[in-house]
Amino acid sequence: MQQLTILGATGSIGQSTLAVLTYHPERYRVFALTAHSRIEELAELCQRYQPRYAVVAHVEDIPRLQALLSTTVTEILAGTEALAFVASHQDCDTVMAAIVGAAGLLPTLAAVTAGKRVLLANKEALVMAGSLFMQAVIEHGATLLPIDSEHNAIFQCLPSHYPQGLAKVGVERILLTASGGPFREFTAEQLATVTPAQACKHPKWVMGRKISVDSATLMNKGLELIEACWLFSATPEQVKIVIHPQSIVHSLVQYVDGSTLAQLGNPDMRTPIANALAWPERIHAGVSALDLVQHHLDFYPPDERRFPCLRLAREAMAKGGTAPAILNAANEVAVEAFLAERLPFIAIPQLIEAVLTQLPMSPADNLDTILSADQQARIIAHDWLMQYHSDLVKSPD
Q: What is the pTM of this model?
A: 0.92
DSSP lists the bridge partners of residue 268 as: none
- Domain spans in the chain, listed from the N-terminal domain onward: 2-147, 149-269+289-319, 320-397
Is-contact 129 370, C-beta < 8 A? yes
DSSP, residue by residue, 5-26: EEETTTSHHHHHHHHHHTT-TT
Alpha-carbon gap, residue 42 to 18, rounded angstroms: 12
pLDDT by residue for the chain (397 residues), tens only, comes to 999 999 999 999 999 999 999 999 999 999 999 999 899 999 999 999 999 999 999 999 999 999 999 777 899 999 999 999 999 999 999 999 999 888 899 999 999 999 999 999 988 899 999 999 999 999 999 999 999 999 999 999 999 999 989 999 999 999 999 999 899 999 999 999 999 999 998 776 667 789 899 999 999 999 999 999 999 999 999 999 999 999 999 999 999 999 999 999 999 999 999 999 999 999 999 999 999 899 999 999 999 999 999 999 999 999 999 999 999 999 999 999 999 999 999 999 999 999 999 999 999 989 999 999 999 999 999 999 999 888 776 665 5
H helix runs in the chain, sequence order = 12-21, 39-49, 62-68, 80-88, 105-113, 124-140, 149-157, 188-191, 196-199, 209-217, 219-231, 270-278, 309-319, 323-339, 348-358, 367-394
Written out in words, the top-level CATH class of the domain with range 2-147 is: alpha beta
Q: At what angle do helices 348-358 and 323-339 cross, to 10 degrees?
A: 150
Instruction: Say yes or no: domain 320-397 is CATH 3.30.9.10.
Output: no
Q: Is the dihedral of CA 118, 124, 128, 131 positive or negative?
A: positive
Q: Who's near 71: CB < 8 A, 6+ residues apart?
A: 47
Q: Which distant-in-sequence residues (6+ apart) come within 8 Å of 211 by Cβ?
A: 100, 220
User: 141-157 burial string, b = 16+ CB within 10 Å, else e?
Assistant: ebebbbbbbbbbbbbbb
